[in-house]
Structure 1
Amino acid sequence: MTVAPETPAIALRHGRDLMSPELFARLADFCAEEYGHERSMAERIMNEAITLCYVMGSTNAGDVMAPSKAVDPGWHTFMLHTEDYAKWCTENFGYFLHHRPNSKVRTQGLMVDVVGRIRAEGFEIDERLWGTAAECNAPTCCGDGPCC
């Protein structure tokens, strides 16, 4: 009898691992206090925001990607720490990733596309923060757009 060797599972990446634990903790603390989130929720938001920024910057997709309403406070938190944000952008992409707000409606379709792009880069997704979770049901809709 021949036994096939087990294929090791590929570990998914996390945004929080793209910076020092100290910087991540400082950003999560600020996000929690500034936006009134529990610390654990602020950590989830920051993880997704850092992941979004990394994928936008490393793939030059900043003009076609946008954060969900739930993730947006994380990106704003990071940008408000301008020295850390500028240094992180330069170290990771070689340029400053600008925030270019537009009138794009955060539809479920857009969020699915953004999540797909992030997933394609090997990152784990917290789908509840993007409004793309399959179990998303009213009245506790987990994100933006008409997902419920």
Structure 2
Amino acid sequence: MAAVAAPEAAMTARFLVRPDVFDRLVDRVAVEVAGGRDLAVRIVDQTLAFLAASARNPGVGLAPSRLVDIGWHVFVLDTREYAAFCDQVAGRFIHHVPNDAANEPVRQMDVRARTLAAITDAGYAVDMDLWPPTGTGRCGSCADEGNCSASGKDGDENQGSRIPR
């Protein structure tokens, strides 16, 4: 059995962005989800942790939960701050890559386990309530039946599963 860092040893990801950026993202997420500001704070923190883990693991095939995906959507729309964040944590842009192919529950569980391990390995705390056993991020506007993942090094993953334009 692999050793897992105690929750006290894990970091919050909120300090990966300036406090004003964090607060602005929280305010925007709070508009998108029921649950108020407290839930929005948790979503933004897990979004940043997910993105930092994705930066450390290009091409591994990590995906956000549905709630974390909402945080990612909000962040990516703030293009200047998002691009600066990506440059800081990854040295490259972390593309939001929709996967239009439907995913089987077993595959979703594998992706979830891989994603949570990557977040933990990066030293960040995992808020398990935001990562339910099934349901990786399904992008309503970008992929009704697929889920979103972070781009790898070249930003061209999931080419075979995208709906042609």
Q: Aligned to 1:60, which of 45, 58, 61?
A: 58
Greater radius of gyration (CA): 1
Instruction: Give the residue type in structure 2 aligned to 1:27.
Output: L
Secondary structure at the aligned position of 1:100 is classed as strand
Q: How many Å separate the matches in 2 of 1:117 and 1:91?
A: 18
Higher RCO, Cα 8 Å, sep 6+: 2
Q: Aligned to 1:98, which of 87, 90, 95?
A: 95
Contact 1:45 1:70 in 2 (8 A): yes
TM-score by length of 1: 0.76
Equivalent in the alignment of 1:115: 116
Instruction: Give the residue type in structure 2 aligned to 1:70.
Output: L
Q: Which runs of 5+ in 1 are unaligned?
A: 1-8, 133-142
Q: Aligned to 2:48, which of 47, 50, 54?
A: 50
Contact 1:31 1:37 in 2 (8 A): no
Contact 1:119 1:125 in 2 (8 A): yes
Instruction: Give the residue type in structure 1 aligned to 2:93.
Output: F
Q: How many Å separate the matches in 1 of 2:74 and 2:28?
A: 7
**Which structure features the higher share of strand residues?**
2
TM-score by length of 2: 0.69
Secondary structure at the aligned position of 2:55 is classed as helix
Query: Is 2:135 aligned against 1:144?
Result: yes
Secondary structure at the aligned position of 1:71 is classed as helix
Instruction: Give the residue type in structure 2 aligned to 1:120.
Output: D
Q: Which runs of 5+ in 2 are unaligned?
A: 1-6, 137-165
Q: How many Å separate the matches in 2 of 1:27 and 1:58?
A: 23
Identity level (%) = 31
Instruction: Give the residue type in structure 1 aligned to 2:90.
Output: F
Equivalent in the alignment of 1:139: none
Contact 2:57 2:118 in 1 (8 A): no
Segments of 4+ moved more than 4 angstroms: none
Secondary structure at the aligned position of 1:124 is classed as coil
User: Which moved further from structure 2: 97-106 or 115-124?
Assistant: 97-106
Equivalent in the alignment of 2:145: none
Q: How many Å separate the matches in 2 of 1:54 and 1:129?
A: 17
Q: How many Å separate the matches in 2 of 1:104 and 1:42?
A: 28
